[in-house]
């Protein structure tokens, strides 16, 4: 198969990217196109940026991507920040948040990180976090002298920004005069933002040819272009040289920090700073009674800065909250994730700070970012990439599954380099060709999918994909089958001895039997050495068979044999799942098991007509036919007999008692003494509960045996209820 190389014609790719980025930006605002997401737009923009970095000769000063770029404009005065404007380190998952906490705990006095209380830190054993929304706009610094707004600047490179005072004065939520008693000097930092609604209206105007154009870096006129997002719109608007134009944009401002205060008492505080700082407060506005109003308070937490900023008349994030620990931080992040789509302003995450300003000072700044803050970024669930190749995976039932292969691409927080294309129908439905630019999606733990082809990115060199006529693993014949129920076409390798099928089957078999010691490599080795010819042979392996093999030895041979012997008992539903019957996955196997109760009943039924299987809820004619074919094949019956002769015991299915565990999710970890994990799982399922593989906030209980793994740790971290074996037995 010929691979597609994107780097051959960078010029053409850049041109295509520019055109598609511009089209998406306009389409989003004019066509109300729900499919065009920020993720796709950002992903294409990132690729363009990277290509231009690699091929700087292809830069074009007049092209769109330079219109709102972050370079300081010569037209504005340069301003030096007396305290550097920092950026934030990103974290992308709960795990990374815990890693951050572990890192900072090591830098804090043991009294704080380990739990003994200290006079200097009367809050005791731990410390609080402060959570606030991360606004997607432009960072600005505002300077007030004697209560008057005297200068506003952009962040620039953190040290030198641009003086945009006149433009900032047009923002209604930036107070021009602070209420008394104000400090002699204060530098407030925050985000200038445009609401989503304002952006919509502005883009409509721009595209209809009304209103002002987005600024060009050199001030020249250009074609009318809508803004891609609220961040670009806010930045572009503040870069208008004429403040009147900036005023038309109706920007907003949210304060999030105080960099420095000088009090009339001559006390100067540059943050982060140790010590407590007394601040006088303004009385509440007339007619507005505020309970517990005090005339002053001590500035010792980040949350106090917010309180003080509010008191001085600034807007702060209305959602902000103090969280006692990372569990509460994670709840804040989850909660805001649901609010976020309807939030009035664009956001790209949550900013988490160690609340105590004295701890902030101890933790300090490293590089360009403070150690005491982290930005949790919501992962992009969609990204774009180029399909380099389409490969075929031969599954255990012989089904050929096409896979799209691409360069490692970051999506939903992890790098992926392949995505399932399910079947030929899907490829045709998407009209996917090798060389196409596609949108891939990955939500949670699911396997990434190709969801869309950006056909406008085509160059004409893309190649259509054809299903091979012979199996790529064994060269055997490939047959086409129409699955009438789902009206889809599947391709199968018909060679019963296909090694790929065999390998996948063995891997599936041991994973359902939970024989963890036998990974794919070991299975292949045993097969090559002639120790096993089929899965049933696994149960007659002896220590003496394995120990002499190179890289094994006595100990590992013993572990393998012990594990196999422990796993010989298997519930009926799992047993049916191991058999690899076409169309019988975990769910269908469970339906069959609960209906028939025993393997014998199922065998008797399949020797008669299909009426009984057909009558089972959720089981259609294609499944019942496949089940019947399977149990009427002599080879399969011999295989089942061999398994039983080799010591496999198939347990009766338990009748479902509906109710008790419905809606509950269980995670099992460690070894239980009264039953195997499979049995525990079956008991939970029989009571209507679910058993999942990893602990999350949605887990109801973690059942813990001896030698529990990291799941117990995760449960503790997330505050999930933990049951020991005795508690669990009581629940059953």
Chain positions contacting ligand IVH, by CB under 6 A? 86-88, 132-135, 139, 155, 191, 256-257, 317, 351, 370, 373, 375
In angstroms, what is the minimal distance from the CB of 246 to ligand IVH? 18
Query: What percentage of the chain's residues is helix, strand, coil (to nearest 5)?
Result: 35, 25, 40
CA angle 595, 596, 601 (to 5 degrees): 165
Separation of alpha carbons 243 and 165, rounded Å: 9
Q: Could you tell me the two tokens for 594?
A: 């609960």
Q: Could you tell me the two tokens for 140?
A: 């600005």
In angstroms, what is the minimal distance from the CB of 215 to ligand IVH? 20
Active-site pick, 9, 75, 134, 697: 134
Strand pairing report for 347-354 and 373-377? antiparallel
| DSSP result, 153-194 | EE-TTSSEEEB-HHHHTT-TTS-SBPPSSPPSEEEEEEEEE-
86/216 with CB nearer ligand IVH = 86
Task: Please confirm, yes or no, whether 134 is among the known catalytic residues.
Answer: yes
17/86 with CB nearer ligand IVH = 86
68/536 with CB nearer ligand IVH = 68
Please answer whether residues 573 and 590 qualify as being in contact, where contact means their C-beta atoms are separated by less than 8 angstroms: yes
155/442 with CB nearer ligand IVH = 155
373/599 with CB nearer ligand IVH = 373
Please answer whether residues 44 and 18 qualify as being in contact, where contact means their C-beta atoms are separated by less than 8 angstroms: no
In angstroms, what is the minimal distance from the CB of 415 to ligand IVH? 22
In angstroms, what is the minimal distance from the CB of 312 to ligand IVH? 17
Closest residue (Cβ) to ligand IVH? 139
In angstroms, what is the minimal distance from the CB of 284 to ligand IVH? 25
Closest to 538 in 3D by CA, of 651, 639, 643: 643
User: Coil, strand, or helix at residue 483?
Assistant: strand
In angstroms, what is the minimal distance from the CB of 396 to ligand IVH? 47
Closest to 592 in 3D by CA, of 608, 578, 577, 570: 577
Name the H helices within 56-124. 94-107, 110-113
45/606 with CB nearer ligand IVH = 45
Q: Could you tell me the two tokens for 163?
A: 């003086």
373/457 with CB nearer ligand IVH = 373
87/598 with CB nearer ligand IVH = 87
Residues in the chain: 732
In angstroms, what is the minimal distance from the CB of 137 to ligand IVH? 7
In angstroms, what is the minimal distance from the CB of 129 to ligand IVH? 13
Please answer whether residues 578 and 589 qualify as being in contact, where contact means their C-beta atoms are separated by less than 8 angstroms: no
User: Exposed, middle or buried by CB within 10 Å (0-12, 13-18, 19+), for 347?
Assistant: buried
| DSSP result, 669-715 | ESB-SSS-HHHHHHHHHHTT-EE-SS--TT--EEEE-BS--HHHHHH
Separation of alpha carbons 506 and 441, rounded Å: 30
Please answer whether residues 699 and 667 qualify as being in contact, where contact means their C-beta atoms are separated by less than 8 angstroms: yes
Annotated catalytic sites, by residue? 134
């Amino acid at each position: 198969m010929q691979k597609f190389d994107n780097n051959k014609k960078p010029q053409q790719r850049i041109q295509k990217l520019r055109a598609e980025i511009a089209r998406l930006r306009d389409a989003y605002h004019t066509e109300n196109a729900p499919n065009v997401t920020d993720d796709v737009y950002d992903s294409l923009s990132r690729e363009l940026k990277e290509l231009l970095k690699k091929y700087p000769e292809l830069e074009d000063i007049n092209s769109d991507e330079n219109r709102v770029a972050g370079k300081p404009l010569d037209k504005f005065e340069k301003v030096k920040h007396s305290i550097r404007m920092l950026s934030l380190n990103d974290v992308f998952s709960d795990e990374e948040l815990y890693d951050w906490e572990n890192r900072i705990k090591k830098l804090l006095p043991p009294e704080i990180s380990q739990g003994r209380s200290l006079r200097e830190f009367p809050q005791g054993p731990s410390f609080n976090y402060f959570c606030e929304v991360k606004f997607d706009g432009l960072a600005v610094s505002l300077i007030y002298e004697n209560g008057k707004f005297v200068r506003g600047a952009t962040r620039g490179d953190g040290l030198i920004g641009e003086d945009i005072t006149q433009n900032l004065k047009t923002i209604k939520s930036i107070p021009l005069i602070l209420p008394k008693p104000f400090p002699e000097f204060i530098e407030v930092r925050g985000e200038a933002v445009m609401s989503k609604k304002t952006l919509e209206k502005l883009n409509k105007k721009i595209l209809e040819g009304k209103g002002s154009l987005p600024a060009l870096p050199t001030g020249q006129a250009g074609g009318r272009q809508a803004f891609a997002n609220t961040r670009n719109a806010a930045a572009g608007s503040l870069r208008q040289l004429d403040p009147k134009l900036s005023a038309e944009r109706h920007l907003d401002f949210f304060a999030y920090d105080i960099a420095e205060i000088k009090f009339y008492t001559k006390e100067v505080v540059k943050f982060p700073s140790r010590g407590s700082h007394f601040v006088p407060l303004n009385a509440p506005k007339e007619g507005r009674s505020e309970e517990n109003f005090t005339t002053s308070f001590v500035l010792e937490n980040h949350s106090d800065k917010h309180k003080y900023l509010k008191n001085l008349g600034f807007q702060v994030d209305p959602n902000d909250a103090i969280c006692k620990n990372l569990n509460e931080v994670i709840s804040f992040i989850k909660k805001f994730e649901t609010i976020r789509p309807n939030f009035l302003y664009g956001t790209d995450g949550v900013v988490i700070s160690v609340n105590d300003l004295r701890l902030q000072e101890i933790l300090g700044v490293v590089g360009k970012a403070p150690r005491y803050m982290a930005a949790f970024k919501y992962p992009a669930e969609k990204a774009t990439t180029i399909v380099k190749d389409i490969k075929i995976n031969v599954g255990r039932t012989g089904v050929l599954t096409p896979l799209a292969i691409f360069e490692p691409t970051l999506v939903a927080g992890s790098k992926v380099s392949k995505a399932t294309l399910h079947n030929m129908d899907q490829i045709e439905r998407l009209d996917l060709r090798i060389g196409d630019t596609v949108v891939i999606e990955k939500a949670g733990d699911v396997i990434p999918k190709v969801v869309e082809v950006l056909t406008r990115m085509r160059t004409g060199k893309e190649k259509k994909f054809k299903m091979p006529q012979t199996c790529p693993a064994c060269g055997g014949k490939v047959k086409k089958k129409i699955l009438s129920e789902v009206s889809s076409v599947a391709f199968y390798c018909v060679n019963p001895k296909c090694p790929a099928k065999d390998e996948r089957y063995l891997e599936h078999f041991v994973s359902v039997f939970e024989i963890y010691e036998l990974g794919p490599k070991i299975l292949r080795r045993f097969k090559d050495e002639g120790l096993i010819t089929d899965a049933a042979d696994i149960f007659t392996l002896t220590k003496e068979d394995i120990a002499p093999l190179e890289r094994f030895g006595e100990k590992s041979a013993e572990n393998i044999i012990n594990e196999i012997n422990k796993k010989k008992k298997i519930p009926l539903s799992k047993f049916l799942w191991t058999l690899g019957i076409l169309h019988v996955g975990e769910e269908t196997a469970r339906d069959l098991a609960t209906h028939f109760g025993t393997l014998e009943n199922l065998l008797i039924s399949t020797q008669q007509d299909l009426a009984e299987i057909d009558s089972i809820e959720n089981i259609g004619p294609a499944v019942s036919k496949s089940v019947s074919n399977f149990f009427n094949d002599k080879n399969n019956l011999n295989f089942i007999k061999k398994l039983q002769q080799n010591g496999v015991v198939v347990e009766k299915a338990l009748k479902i008692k509906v109710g008790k565990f419905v809606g509950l999710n269980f995670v099992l970890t460690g070894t239980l003494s009264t039953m195997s994990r499979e049995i525990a799982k079956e008991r939970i399922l029989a009571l209507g509960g679910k058993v999942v593989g990893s602990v999350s906030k949605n887990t109801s209980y973690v059942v813990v045996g001896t030698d529990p793994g990291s799941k117990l740790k995760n449960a503790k971290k997330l505050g999930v209820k933990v049951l020991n074996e005795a508690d669990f037995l009581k629940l059953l």
